[in-house]
Amino acid sequence: MNPIMNNRNYLAHHNLSDLDRLFHAVFSDFNTFEPEMMSSSEFGGPSIEFSMTDDAVIATLPMPGCHPANMEIEVVGDWLTVRVKRERAALEKEDARFLRRERSCDDFEETIHVPAKVRGQETTAKYTDGVLTITMPKEVKKPGKHIVTVE
């Protein structure tokens, strides 16, 4: 986890909440009740998480509403860098206005240490349902189990 990135996202969303409060104070008819729920932003914005299988290290990054063409992934040694460009849709109609804007359109960049030696050249990535999944085969496979019988 990159604390700088997380902190930046956290602050970005909290500034928005202030705007929301102002908005609701002006338009009291809204009578909006902010649910005291954990939101995606309270988890610190998007961050890369690792899981391990016997053969590979799998990194997942929730990044909804993006396009694979705007994603850059680099594996250098045992460091993984992910860059994602995000664009905010422009207003198509003149009379349109946002009542609420919580989604971030900040570009994402994170460099993180991979928790095992991996083969960068064989790394694959796919983007499904707004989740980027990067599969990095491990450099050394886990030794197989050998059962030795005692005679």
Partner 1 sequence: MNNNEVNVQNTQAENTACQNPAQECEQKHPGFVQMMPLVDILECADNVTMWFEIPGANSSTVKIEVKEKIMSIEAESSLRRNGKTIVFKREFQLSDRIDVEHITAKTKDGVLTLTLPKSESAKVHRIQVS
Task: Please identify, using beta-carbon distances, which residue of 115 and 130 lies nearer to partner 1.
Answer: 130
Q: Is the dihedral of CA 64, 66, 69, 70 positive or negative?
A: negative
Residues in 75-134 at the binding interface with partner 1, rule: CB under 8 A: 91, 93, 95-104, 127, 129-131
Q: How many Cβ atoms are within 10 Å of 67's Cβ, its own excluded?
A: 11
Identify which range of 57-65, 76-84, 115-123, 140-148 contacts partner 1 by CB under 8 A: 57-65
Question: Least CB distance from residue 77 to partner 1, whole Å?
Answer: 28
Closest among 71, 74, 75, 101 to 86, alpha carbons compared:
71
Q: How far lies 130's CA from each of 9, 67, 97, in Å?
A: 18, 9, 26
Task: Please identify, using beta-carbon distances, which residue of 32 and 78 lies nearer to partner 1.
Answer: 32
Q: Which residues of the shown chain bind partner 1 in the complex (CB under 8 A)?
A: 13, 27, 29-41, 43, 60, 62-67, 91, 93, 95-104, 127, 129-131
